[in-house]
């Protein structure tokens, strides 16, 4: 209980301190916290690393009670996930959805801020037709279970998609969903619009570069200086591929003609720091450039050319390298951090010193001095390291006060004291 109280009080102090690197009124940095590994540190240690990144939104692929409890009172917004294997059952059994909410949501709120639930991951681009038919009913069932607990104004229900849901993505204005998916996508969009839930897309410019490095310009996918491309139908100019991908999704949603617009969020994007011999571009330098420049865009609150006034919410993939992920070597090297807590590459973030962080999952936090993000490789006061593309989340970056989830924070501190 002493550790819980210490963490709660430390977080209380942190929430009152100015947050760094986030433009006032803009979106805040999100990070995917995957755990397909056998050597990761404890959630308490992960919390310190996320604080070093100034990440205030975290996306899980499950509803890990250890993680959600470790972040009680932190003010961090969590998106939790329903695994694919549970989707068919939730679709056919309303009591299963109620039981899932009771077991995975109710024990953690309001102390932990859970703001969304994703039902499955990239279900519509899978090959299981039963899963495709089950997706929307499962989402509706889960929404009804949340409504029964008066939580629908706090917790959105959505699902994440691969870009493979599109039949066309360039030019962005030609974006359209695959015809075979429209019977599922159109009512799903109507559900998102009705419930005011976001449309989540997993977008990886890295895959485009890896597939055709001779024709895809590296600077275009890394958010660096390039001639860019124009959309002949709209005249809009794109200087990076991620924005073009998002606007292709935007065009597809508009052409589906289902109802009012929905917010688009990038639920996954990132760049691997290592890969197999045939995985072009998977280097620490390119990963640092991609994610560093991406952080800069998030901090500036930039929208896409088709929606410049709508700041884009982005979740970087991922917090840690995950050594048990199957597939090519790149799949195990998307982490911003290695499992021992050291940065996988330099994006200008000084990692905190964490005593006993040895991958055992039982480490505890060390001194809090490392929580302040250092000047980056270039030491530029404006947060941009000249000539590197790295982004420094520094004291000179935009500062805003964070007063989020104050009621949750107070509840967590009181709970810790009572215990």
Catalytic site positions: 122, 268
> Which helix or strand (DSSP H or E) is residue 300 part of?
helix 284-300
> Are the C-beta atoms of residues 97 and 56 closer than 8 Å to each other?
no
Q: Tell me the longest C-alpha to C-alpha distance in the chain.
A: 64
Q: Which residue has the tokens 């994440």?
A: 160
Identify any residues that bridge with 366 across adjacent strands, giving them in sequence order. Answer: none
DSSP β-ladder status, 264-269 and 399-400: unpaired
Q: Does residue 415 sit in helix, strand or coil?
A: helix
DSSP β-ladder status, 314-317 and 30-32: parallel
Tell me the two tokens of residue 69: 């409890």
Residue 273's closest CA among 226, 333, 347?
A: 333
Residue 91 phi/psi, 5-degree rounding, is -70, -30
Q: Which residue has the tokens 């077991």?
A: 103
Classify residue 369 by its DSSP letter: G
Is 29 buried (19+), middle (13-18) or exposed (0-12) by CB count in 10 A?
Answer: buried
State the CB neighbour count (10 A cutoff) for residue 141: 25
Rounded-to-5 percentages of helix, strand, coil across the chain: 40, 15, 45
Using CA atoms, how far apart are residues 256 and 59, in angstroms rounded to an integer?
A: 28
Give the C-alpha distances (Å, rounded to integers) separating 45 from 51, 52, 321, 358: 10, 11, 15, 11
DSSP β-ladder status, 199-202 and 156-162: parallel
Using CA atoms, how far apart are residues 11 and 29, in angstroms rounded to an integer?
A: 18
Q: Report CA torsion sign: 215, 221, 225, 228.
A: positive
Helix and strand counts by DSSP (H, E) for the chain: 12, 14
């Amino acid at each position: 209980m002493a550790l819980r109280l210490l963490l709660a009080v430390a977080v209380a102090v942190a929430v009152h301190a100015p947050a760094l690197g986030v433009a006032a009124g803009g979106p805040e940095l999100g990070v995917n916290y995957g755990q397909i590994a056998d050597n990761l540190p404890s959630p308490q240690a992960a919390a310190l690393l996320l604080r070093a990144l100034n990440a205030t939104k975290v996306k899980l692929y499950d509803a890990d009670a250890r993680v959600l409890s470790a972040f009680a009172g932190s003010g961090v917004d969590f998106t939790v996930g329903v695994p694919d294997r549970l989707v068919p059952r939730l679709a056919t059994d309303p009591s299963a959805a109620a039981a899932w909410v009771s077991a995975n949501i109710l024990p953690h709120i309001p102390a932990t801020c859970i703001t969304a639930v994703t039902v499955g991951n990239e279900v519509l681009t899978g090959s299981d037709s039963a899963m495709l038919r089950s997706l929307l009913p499962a989402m509706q069932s889960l929404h009804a279970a949340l409504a029964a607990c008066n939580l629908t104004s706090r917790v959105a229900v959505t699902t994440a998609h691969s870009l493979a849901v599109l039949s066309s993505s360039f030019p962005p204005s030609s974006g359209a969903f695959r015809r075979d998916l429209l019977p599922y996508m159109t009512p799903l969009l109507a559900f998102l619009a009705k419930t005011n839930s976001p449309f989540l897309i997993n977008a990886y410019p890295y895959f485009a570069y890896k597939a055709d490095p001779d024709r895809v310009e590296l600077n275009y996918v890394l958010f660096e200086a390039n001639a860019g491309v124009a959309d002949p139908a709209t005249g809009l100019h794109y200087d990076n591929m991620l924005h073009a991908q998002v606007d292709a999704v935007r065009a597809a949603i508009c052409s589906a003609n289902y109802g009012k617009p929905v917010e688009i969020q990038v639920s996954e994007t990132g760049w691997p720091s290592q890969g197999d011999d045939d995985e072009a571009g998977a280097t620490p330098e390119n990963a640092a450039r991609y994610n560093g420049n991406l952080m800069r865009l998030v901090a500036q609150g930039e929208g896409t050319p088709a929606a410049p006034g709508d700041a884009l919410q982005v979740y970087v993939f991922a917090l840690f390298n995950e050594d048990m992920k199957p597939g090519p070597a790149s799949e195990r090297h998307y982490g911003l951090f290695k499992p021992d807590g050291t940065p996988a590459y330099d994006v200008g973030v000084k990692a905190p010193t964490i005593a006993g962080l040895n991958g055992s999952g039982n480490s505890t936090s060390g001194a809090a001095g490392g929580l302040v993000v250092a000047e980056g490789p270039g030491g530029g006061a404006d947060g941009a390291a000249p000539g590197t593309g790295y982004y420094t989340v520094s004291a000179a970056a935009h500062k805003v006060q964070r007063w989020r989830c104050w009621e949750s924070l107070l509840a967590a501190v009181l709970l810790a004291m009572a215990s």
